[in-house]
Structure 1
Amino acid sequence: MDKVILDEKKKILLDFINSKEYHPLKFKEIANILQVPRDEKQDLREVLTSLQADGKIDQDTQGRYKLADANTKTGVFSGTQRGFGFVIIEGEDEDIFIPENATKGALHNDKVMVSIKDDRTGKRKEGEIIRILERSSSTIVGTFEKSKNYGFVIPDNQKFGKDIFIQKEHTKGAVNGHKVVVKITDYGGQDKNPEGKVIEILGHMNDPGVDIISVIMAYNLPMEFPDGVMNQVESVPDEISERDMAGRKDIRNLQTVTIDGEDAKDLDDAITISKDNNLYHLGVHIADVTNYVTENSPLDKEAVKRGTSVYLVDRVIPMLPHKLSNGICSLNAGTDRLALSCFMDIDDKGNVVGHEIAETVLRVDRRMTYTSVKKILEDNDEEERKQYEEFVPMFELMAELADILREKRRKRGSIDFDFPESKIRLDENGHPIEIKPYERNKATKIIEDFMLIANETVAEDFFWQEIPFVYRSHENPDSDKIKQLGIFINNFGYSIKIGQDEIHPKELQKLLLKIDNTPEEALISRLTLRSMKRAKYTSTSDGHFGLATKYYCHFTSPIRRYPDLQIHRIIKENLRGGLNEKRLKHYNKILPDVAMQASITERRADDAEREVDKLKKVEYMSDHIGETFEGVISGITNWGLYVELPNTVEGMVRVSEMMDDYYIYDEEHYTMMGEHTRKTYKLGEKVFVEVVAADKLLRTIDFAFVDEPEEDQ
C-alpha cells in the first residue's frame, strides 16, 4: 500500500476507534461497521497492524482493538548481558528500564510495545514489555560450542543476552570455536533460549580475517555489488568528454590542490584560494558524482541502501564501486574532472560576504598529503618547502584564512572535540602490531575548517531559497544529562551555567578550554560528548548545537555519504532551472525517508567500526599479558574501574579482584573507596595497571592495579 494512502487510512481508522461508541471491537466488527468489501479486508488488517506498530492501538486478551493506554509506547529494545534491558523511544529524552523478568523474551533491537509504570522506584522510568511487534533479525553471528548431543552459539553481540540452542542435526558440522551464521527458528521466551540452525561457517575464530568478516556479517554490511550495479559501472567512462564539460565554469587555470592522507584513493575535494583587498576568495570543489549516479538507477538504489562507506581497520566497504570512487570521481592530479563548486568571498572577520555555487571543470595541480603540508606550515621543513616552492604561498594563505574561520566559530560557541582517534596497524595476517592515537595537525584542521564553511554556506543558501533539502541537525542536549555533567565536573572544581533547563554551546566550549592540557581533559571531554545527543540527517533545518549554527548540511563527500549525493542532485537541478512544482513535490515526499535511512546506515557503520576497533584492541593487549602500563581512570561503576591507556585502549579493574580492601562506589562523587584503608580512587587519576586478561569472545580487557614501577638506575 502506498505510504501516503496508508497514512490517510490510519488517520481515518484511528478516529473511528477513538469514537467511544465503537470501543473496543474485534476485526470482524470493524469490517462490518465500516462496510469493508471482502477484497479490501487485507488492506484493513495492514492498517490495523501498522497502527499497532506505531503504538497507537492495542489488542486486549479477547483480540479486541482499543486505543493504546497513554502509558503504552512503541520503541526498540536494547538488551544487556545481564538479562535486563532498556526501551529506546523515538523523540523521548529518557530510555525505559526493563527488569529481567519483564522482557517477555525480547531480544536486542526488537521493536516492542512497552507499558510504562506511573511510579518511579529508581532513578529512571521503568516498564514491562507487553508485545514484541517486530524481530530485529532472523540471523545471528556467533561462536559455536559443541556439547555431546547438541550445540549452542554464543552471539558476538553481547547485548543479545542469550545463547542459541542448536540441535545436533542442524550444526552443519561446526566444531568448537567456529564462527557461524545462525538462522533463528524459534525466538524462545522469558525462560526459554532461542533455537536455530547453522546456515554458514565463516571459519575458526583464530583464523586470520575471520573476526572482521564476522562483524561484517553481523551488521549486514553488503560486501559485493549486485550485477545490475556493476553493469551500469561498465558504461562509466575513464575520462571526461568535451560534451560533459559543456556549459560548465572552466577553472582549470586556477592553482588547485587536494590535501588528503597518504593512503587515500578517493580524492573528492579540492581547494583554490586567493586574496585581494582584505577579501579571501575560497573555492571548495567537490567531485560531481551525480553526473554518473542518476536518480533511481541501480547505482543510486544501492547507494541509498548502503548509505555510507564503512572504514574498518583492514578494508573499506565503499558506498560506490571503486571504478567511480578511485577513478572518474577522484580528483586526481593532472586530469580534467567534473566538480560542483562553492566559491566564497570571506572578509577578515570570517564572514561569507558573497558566494556562488556552480558546476565546474577543474584540473588539480598537485596531490598533497597532510604530512607534507604539516611539514611546510608547522615544522618549517626546508626540504619540503623547497620541493613545493610554488605552492607554499597558497598553503600559508590557507592557514591564515583557516585561523580566521576557526576564531569566528569559537566566538559564536562552536565546540571542538579534539579526541585522538585510534590508529591501528596490522601485520599481513591481520594481527595488530601497533595502536596509537591518530592526532589532528594544522593541515587536517585547515581542510576541516574549509569543509565546515562550505557546508554552512550551502545549507543557508538552500534554506532561504525554501527548496527541499537534506540537513545535518544536532539537537540541544537533554537537560538532565547536562545537570549530571555539572555535578560531575564540580568534583574537579569546574562549573557550567545552565539557564532555564537550556545550555548554550559556549558554556561547554569554555569548559573544554579550561580543561585543556589537564590530566582530566580526555575524561571530561568524553563525558561532555556523551551528554549530548547524536547528530542526524533531517529534511528540516533544525540547527546544529555542537557547531553553534542554524544552518548545516553535508555537501563535501558524495563519494562516501548518500546525503551529500542527494543534495548535489537537488543543487544541480536548481542551477539548471529544472525544479518545477512536480519535482519540488517529489523531493518533499522522498527526503524524510532519505534522511532517516542515511541516519540508520550511519549508525550501523559507526557501530561496526567501533566493534572492529574493540576486537583488535583486545587482540593487541593479549600479546601484553603481564606487562605494566600507566593509564588514567576513565570510568567508575559498582563492578569496577575503567582505565584508559595513552594508546586509547581501555580496560577494567574489577572490584571483585581488588583484594587489599572491600571497596564501595560513591556514586555522588564518582569515587571508589576502601572500607577499612579509606584508600580512594577517583576519575581522572593517574594509575599503573598490569594486563591480566584479554578475552576476544567477550571483547573485554582486565587490568589489576600495581605500584608505580621503579625507574632503572
Structure 2
Amino acid sequence: MSKKKIWEKKKKKKFSKEKISVKPKKRDIKALSKLGLIKEGTFIGNHKGFGFVELEEEEDDIFIPADHTGTAMHMDRVRVLLKNEAKTGKRREGTVIEILERVNKEIVGTFQRERDYGFILCDNQKFSKDIYISPKNSKGVRDGDKVVAEIIDYGNDRRKPEGKIAENLGSMNAPGTDILAIVKSFNIPSEFPVKVMNQAMRVPDHVQEADRDGRTDLTQLMTVTIDGEDAKDLDDAVSLTKEGNIYHLGVHIADVSNYVQGGSALDKEALKRGTSVYLADRVIPMLPERLSNGICSLNQGQDRLTLSCLMDIDENGTVVAHRIAETVIRVDRRMSYNQVRCILEDGDTETSREYKEFVPMFFLMKELSALLRSKRHNRGSIDFDFPESKIILNGAGRAIDVKPYEQNVATQIIEDFMLMANETVAKEYCQGEYPFVYRTHDNPDPERVESLLTLLRHQGIQVQKACEEITPKEIQEILEQIQGMPNEMMISRLMLRTMKQARYTTECSGHFGLAAKYYCHFTSPIRRYPDLQIHRIIRDNIRGRLQREGKTEHYREILEHVAEQSSVCERRAQEAERESDRLKKAEYMSYHLGEIFEGIISGVTAYGFYVELPNTVEGLVHITALSDDYYEFDEENYELRGELTKKVYHLGQKVTVRVADADALKRTVDFSVVENTVDEMSLNE
C-alpha cells in the first residue's frame, strides 16, 4: 500500500472517531476537504429546528440535525463537516462548522411582549429561532405589531439571536399589514427613490412630434387591447386582417425604451426590481405609475409609441414573412377577456351589438389562434392547464372568497399571439447573432424523469419513451392519456415538478416546455426588465447604431448581469406571490372552521396527505389525524395504506374533509377526514 493511501486511511480513521459537533482545526480543513468530508453550500432552514445544506454541484443535499445547525440561519452560506458514512437509502448527515456568508441582516415577524422585553416570531417558517429584543431596543412597539428587526447578534448554542427594531409596520390586524410584511420579508422595493420619481415626472404625458420621426404610422389600423377588467398597465395591442390565405397579424408592444433610457435612474431602479409583483391586495410596479399607467400604457384613443412585430402567417400557421418596426398606434377599443369571450361564445348579445364593427376581427382572431395552437401542439408544446386562484378581498383587506380563475377563448387568443411574436423576434436575433436576452427552458433531469415514469407505470398509465431523454412530445402524449382521469391534475403537477425552471440567458438554447428552438420575452416591457432591455437592442439595430456606435460590445458586457438579475427577481416575485396567496387562503378558511368540503388528494407523503378543494385551497390531513389505523407510506405508489383495515389513500382520490384548523400567520390549512357525511354535506350545501 502506498504512503498516500496509508495516510488517507489514517486520516479517515481519525476523523470518523471525532464527534461531528467538534469543529476541526484550520490545518485539518484541507485534509478533510481532500477526503470529501468538507462541503460548502446554502443552509435551508426548517421550523422544527433542523435543516439541509444545498450544494451547487451536487443533486443530493445534506441533512443537518437541530443540534448541529450552530448559528446558521435560512439561506446563509455555510461550511459543513460530513459524517464519514451515510446509511443506505438515507441522506448524508453533517454539522455546520462555519458561516461563510450571512444573508439575513433583517428579519420580519410579529412582536411578542414579555414584561419589558420581547421576542420576534419570524414570519418565514424556515427561521426556527425567535429573535430576542431587549427593552432598550424595542422602541415601544406593542404586543402583536408586525416589525422589521435588524439582527445585532446571531447568538450561540445557549443564547437566542438578538435584534433591535428597525421599523414598525403596524398592528397585525390592521388592513394590509400582513401583505406589507411579506413585501418586507422578501426585500422587495416598494417605494421609488426621489430621484426616480423626479425623472418620471419629467416624462411627457403625450407623444412628442419629434418622437414620431422614422416611425411607421399605424394609427389607421384597427387595433384593440384585450386584458383583465382591472388591468391598468396595457403593454400589448393586437390587429389582424386576412388576404387570401395569408393572415396579417400585428402584435404592438409599448415602446417603454423611448422613455426609460439605459443607465438612467429610472433604468437602474427597474433593473433592481426586475419585474412588477402582483400580490393579493396590491401591485408593486417595476416602473412608476406615471409611466406604467400613463404614457407607456396603450390606452384607448391615445396615440402611443410602439415596437410592432408584423407577421404574415399562412394557412399552416407558419410565419412566411415578418417585420419588426418602430411604430405609432392608436388603440380603437380597450376590450376585456370576458367581453371577447361573450362575443365569441354567447351569440347575438348586447356586447356583440356594442362592438359590432370589431366582431369579424374577433372571429378571425379565434380562427388564427386555433391554427397557431394546433401547430404548437403538433410539434410537442406542453400545456399544463392549471387554474390560477382568484382571491376576493373586502374593504378591510380580508379574504371573503377564493375561486379558480379559468382560461377562456380570449385569454388563449392573446397567449397564442404573444407566443408567436416572442418566437419570431427571438429567431431573427438569434440567427443574426446579435447580443440578446433569451427565455430558455432546459431539458428535465433524466433521473427525475425516470422516477416519474416509474410512478406513472404504477398508476397503470402506459408510457412509451423512445430515447434516454424524454421529449416534449412524449410528455404531451402522457398528458393527453390521463385526460379525464380522477388523478389527472395531480399527475400533471408531478410532471411539472420534474421540469427545470425557465430562466433568462444570453444563449439561445431553446425552450423545452414550448418545444421551441427560439424564444424570448418581448411583449411586456412595462412589467418585465428583459423585455425592456431587448427593446433597446432592437431599436439600436433598426437605427443602425449597434455596429456604428459600438453598442454591440456594450450589450455583451452588461447582458449576463441583466439575465441573472432578472431571473433572481422573477423567482423572488413568484415566491412572494405564492406566500401572499397562501396567507389569504388560510385566512379565508379560518372563517370556515368545522365546515365540510369534498376535495381530491393532491399529494401523499410519510407525514400525511394533501387535499385540494375545487376553489384551489390546499390543506394537509396529518398522519396523526388518521386515528382509525396505523398507516404506512408506500413511496413507489404515493399511497398511505392502513395496516389493519387495508384502507388506502392515493393520488387523485376523492375525499370528504372537515376544516380542522387554519393559521394565516403560518399560512397553513389542516383538514381531518370525514366518514359517512351525506347528511352533513347536504346541510353545508
Scaled by the length of structure 1, what TM-score is found?
A: 0.88
The percent of aligned pairs where both chains have the same amino acid is 58
Closer, same or farther: CA 120–477 of 1 in aligned 2, 3 Å: farther
1:467 equivalent to 2:437? Answer no
User: Does the CA-based 8 Å contact 1:496-1:508 persist in structure 2?
Assistant: no
Deviation at 1:541, TM superposition (A): 1.1
Distance 1:165 1:555 in 2: 48
Amino acid of the residue matched to residue 51 of structure 2?
G
Distance 1:523 1:359 in 2: 45
1:673 equivalent to 2:641? Answer yes
What is the aligned partner in structure 1 of residue 419 from structure 2?
452
1:640 equivalent to 2:608? Answer yes
Amino acid of the residue matched to residue 529 of structure 1?
L
Deviation at 1:91, TM superposition (A): 5.7
Among candidates 557, 580, 584, match of residue 589 of structure 1: 557
1:348 equivalent to 2:318? Answer no
Distance 1:190 1:360 in 2: 64
Q: Secondary structure at the match of 2:253?
A: strand
Distance 2:382 2:292 in 1: 31
Among candidates 375, 379, 384, match of residue 417 of structure 1: 384
User: Does the CA-based 8 Å contact 2:40-2:80 persist in structure 1?
Assistant: yes
What is the aligned partner in structure 2 of residue 61 from structure 1?
26
What is the aligned partner in structure 2 of residue 154 from structure 1?
121
Distance 2:321 2:80 in 1: 52
Closer, same or farther: CA 540–114 of 1 in aligned 2, 3 Å: farther
Alignment of 1:200-599 (within 5 A): 200-498=167-465, 501-580=468-547, 582-599=550-567
1:183 equivalent to 2:139? Answer no
Distance 1:412 1:242 in 2: 45
User: Does the CA-based 8 Å contact 1:268-1:287 persist in structure 2?
Assistant: yes
Amino acid of the residue matched to residue 675 of structure 1?
E
User: Does the CA-based 8 Å contact 2:73-2:104 persist in structure 1?
Assistant: no
Distance 1:367 1:67 in 2: 66
Deviation at 1:453, TM superposition (A): 0.7
Q: Secondary structure at the match of 1:533?
A: coil
User: Does the CA-based 8 Å contact 1:103-1:190 persist in structure 2?
Assistant: no
Distance 1:379 1:263 in 2: 22
Deviation at 1:173, TM superposition (A): 2.3
User: Does the CA-based 8 Å contact 2:458-2:636 persist in structure 1?
Assistant: no
Closer, same or farther: CA 502–123 of 1 in aligned 2, 3 Å: farther
Which runs of no fewer than 5 residues in structure 2 stay unpaired? 1-23
Among candidates 85, 91, 99, match of residue 51 of structure 2: 85
Alignment of 1:13-52 (within 5 A): none
Distance 2:160 2:451 in 1: 38
Among candidates 63, 66, 83, match of residue 100 of structure 1: 66
Distance 1:265 1:567 in 2: 23
Deviation at 1:328, TM superposition (A): 0.6
Count of aligned pairs between the two proteins: 656
Deviation at 1:184, TM superposition (A): 0.6
Q: Secondary structure at the match of 1:390?
A: coil
User: Does the CA-based 8 Å contact 1:473-1:538 persist in structure 2?
Assistant: yes
Closer, same or farther: CA 87–543 of 1 in aligned 2, 3 Å: farther
Distance 1:462 1:66 in 2: 50
Q: Secondary structure at the match of 2:508?
A: coil
User: Does the CA-based 8 Å contact 2:240-2:250 persist in structure 1?
Assistant: yes
Amino acid of the residue matched to residue 195 of structure 1?
E
User: Does the CA-based 8 Å contact 2:457-2:463 persist in structure 1?
Assistant: no
Distance 2:570 2:222 in 1: 35
Distance 1:360 1:60 in 2: 67
Q: Deviations over 1:320-368 (max 9, x none)?
A: 0011111110111111110001111111111111111010011111111
Q: Deviations over 1:397-419 (max 9, x none)?
A: 11111111111111111111111
What RMSD over aligned residues (CA atoms) do the two structures have, in Å?
2.2
Closer, same or farther: CA 202–84 of 1 in aligned 2, 3 Å: same
After the TM superposition, which of the residue ranges 525-534 and 101-110 deviates more from structure 2? Answer: 101-110
Deviation at 1:188, TM superposition (A): 2.4
Deviation at 1:66, TM superposition (A): 9.5
Amino acid of the residue matched to residue 458 of structure 2?
N
Q: Secondary structure at the match of 1:624?
A: coil
Deviation at 1:493, TM superposition (A): 1.3
Q: Deviations over 1:180-199 (max 9, x none)?
A: 11111111245543211222
Q: Secondary structure at the match of 1:530?
A: helix
1:622 equivalent to 2:590? Answer yes
User: Does the CA-based 8 Å contact 1:106-1:189 persist in structure 2?
Assistant: no
What is the aligned partner in structure 2 of residue 41 from structure 1?
none
User: Does the CA-based 8 Å contact 2:459-2:637 persist in structure 1?
Assistant: no
Deviation at 1:95, TM superposition (A): 3.7
Distance 2:360 2:268 in 1: 44
Deviation at 1:248, TM superposition (A): 0.3
Amino acid of the residue matched to residue 399 of structure 2?
P
After the TM superposition, which of the residue ranges 142-151 and 69-78 deviates more from structure 2? Answer: 69-78
Closer, same or farther: CA 680–258 of 1 in aligned 2, 3 Å: same
Amino acid of the residue matched to residue 648 of structure 2?
T
After the TM superposition, which of the residue ranges 672-681 and 123-132 deviates more from structure 2? Answer: 123-132
Closer, same or farther: CA 132–287 of 1 in aligned 2, 3 Å: same
Closer, same or farther: CA 221–138 of 1 in aligned 2, 3 Å: same
Amino acid of the residue matched to residue 409 of structure 1?
R
Amino acid of the residue matched to residue 512 of structure 1?
L
Distance 1:648 1:116 in 2: 41
Amino acid of the residue matched to residue 78 of structure 2?
V
Distance 1:495 1:230 in 2: 59
What is the aligned partner in structure 2 of residue 132 from structure 1?
99
User: Does the CA-based 8 Å contact 2:215-2:327 persist in structure 1?
Assistant: yes
After the TM superposition, which of the residue ranges 161-170 and 622-631 deviates more from structure 2? Answer: 161-170
Distance 1:542 1:281 in 2: 29
1:652 equivalent to 2:620? Answer yes
Q: Secondary structure at the match of 2:126?
A: helix
Deviation at 1:384, TM superposition (A): 2.0
Closer, same or farther: CA 501–176 of 1 in aligned 2, 3 Å: farther
What is the aligned partner in structure 1 of residue 18 from structure 2?
none
Distance 1:583 1:509 in 2: 42
Q: Secondary structure at the match of 1:160?
A: coil
Q: Deviations over 1:644-675 (max 9, x none)?
A: 10000011111112222222222222111222
Amino acid of the residue matched to residue 138 of structure 2?
T
Q: Secondary structure at the match of 2:483?
A: coil
Deviation at 1:128, TM superposition (A): 4.4
User: Does the CA-based 8 Å contact 1:314-1:426 persist in structure 2?
Assistant: yes
Deviation at 1:227, TM superposition (A): 0.8
Deviation at 1:154, TM superposition (A): 1.3
Distance 2:341 2:674 in 1: 39
What is the aligned partner in structure 1 of residue 112 from structure 2?
145
What is the aligned partner in structure 2 of residue 5 from structure 1?
none
Q: Deviations over 1:99-141 (max 9, x none)?
A: 4344342211112344567854335555544432211121000
Deviation at 1:578, TM superposition (A): 0.5
Amino acid of the residue matched to residue 53 of structure 2?
V
Deviation at 1:392, TM superposition (A): 1.0
Deviation at 1:500, TM superposition (A): 5.1
Which runs of no fewer than 5 residues in structure 1 stay unpaired? 1-58
Amino acid of the residue matched to residue 259 of structure 2?
Y
Q: Secondary structure at the match of 1:579?
A: helix
Closer, same or farther: CA 354–73 of 1 in aligned 2, 3 Å: farther
Q: Deviations over 1:437-488 (max 9, x none)?
A: 0000000011000000111111111011111110111111112221221122
Deviation at 1:85, TM superposition (A): 2.3
